[in-house]
Amino acid sequence: MNEGAGSDPVRIGIITPLGEPGDGSAGELVVRGACLGVEYVREHGGARDSRGIELVLYDDQATAATEGMFRSAAGQMAKLALVDDVVAVMGQWHLRTTPWVVDVATKYNIPIFVENGYSEITAQKRRNVFRSYFSVADRVPLMLDFAAQLGIRTVGMVCADTAFGLHTGDVLEQYGRTRHGMEFLRLDFEQDGAPDFGDLLGQIRDYQPDLFINGGVVRTNYQIMHAAAEAGLLPGTPLMVPFSYPLRSNDFWRLAGDAGVGAMWPAMQYRPSWPEMSEIGRWFTERYRQRYGDFPPDTALTHFTDVTIVAAASRAARSTDRDDMIDAMEAMEFPTWRGPIRYERGPAHWHHAAPELVLLQYQKQGQGFDESAIIYPSDKATAQYVPARSANEL
């Protein structure tokens, strides 16, 4: 991972889930993206004073089995802050650990990139917190504005009792009720328990909603799809999922099967056929495909981007001291896969440079995510929405 770092590298911390009870698959993508970011920097002049970059990697689940995810993640972050002398940190995936990790980073004034769905983290207006990804609050309007356009009035929803699941359910309900007058039947379940999905999905089916939202997370998201199909809820009811796991199309079809046909989800406008990909984005997608044989998911892309931003800031800053790095990040414009971005202190959020989002739909079994239909907003659409039952019959 750190070949070519040299004797005096700029050190960047990666704190991410590498095993259970966290999402180790997401952590692997984080590491892949960061490593390719290091390669890109090395091939394009290096970091400050042409130095290499060394990644310092910690599993934020390392002691989760004995002391819980919060303490485990905070403890690993403290090591980065006090022992490893990193100039910045990235890799947080789980919403439930993010506040703890950010608090430690703030205490020691370390720039940290938060690339998950936590809606309020950049609204706390912390000088050291940055994001180039999108939050739950960014994606919910896209989902429910489109649903309202379809005439949807009633929504059945199951939500995992994780930080992400509960937060997403709350934002969906609040926005849908206040903005569109929608009615919700929401059923929460224990992610780490043994929920009876047959009973839960039977209740949703009997409610006869116009839309079904699957708020399951790791593992339970696919269990819910199959239970919904067995209960007769799918394919006849439109299905939305609130985060971008369908982009891992090979895994999605292997685990979802026929129940995934017709699924809709919000995502960045990022795919092999997108004509506006920048030069740095093309470098990354081509190198990732050479290395791993597939087009990279957005999780890898985003952490690649973060590494290149830290390297650019290190070259421009007065020094690699943490205050100077933050000053540089606030003052500069950075080239990214979608063009230049800036980190500004906005009225509602600081340092939240979210990409443009679109709503995607799988309309045929086995589609790759580049083949998925962009169905909303209308000025970005590549195909019309296909009702779930019709999609399943194609």
- Model-level pTM? 0.90
As given in the structure block, the two tokens for residue 162 are: 């994780």
Q: How far, CA to CA in Å, does 93 sit from each of 5, 40, 70, 170, 370? A: 26, 23, 13, 19, 24
What pLDDT shows up at residue 393? 59
CB-based burial of residue 234 (10 Å sphere; 0-12 exposed, 13-18 middle, 19+ buried)?
Answer: buried
Residue 126 DSSP symbol: -
| Secondary structure in 3-state letters for 216-267 | CCCCHHHHHHHHHHHCCCCCCCCEECCCCHHHCHHHHHHHHHHHHCCCEEEE
How does pLDDT run across 126-150, given as a tens digit for each residue?
999 999 999 999 999 999 999 999 9
pLDDT score at 72 = 96
Contact present, 32 and 300 (Cβ < 8 Å): yes
Tell me which residue has tokens 């950049």: 122
Number of H helices, E strands in the chain: 12, 14
Res 144: pLDDT? 98
Per-residue pLDDT, 391: 56
Check: CB of residue 31 under 8 Å from CB of residue 59: no
Question: Parallel, antiparallel, or unpaired: how do β-strands 154-160 and 112-114 relate?
Answer: unpaired
User: Which residue stretches of the chain have pLDDT < 70?
Assistant: 5-6, 389-394
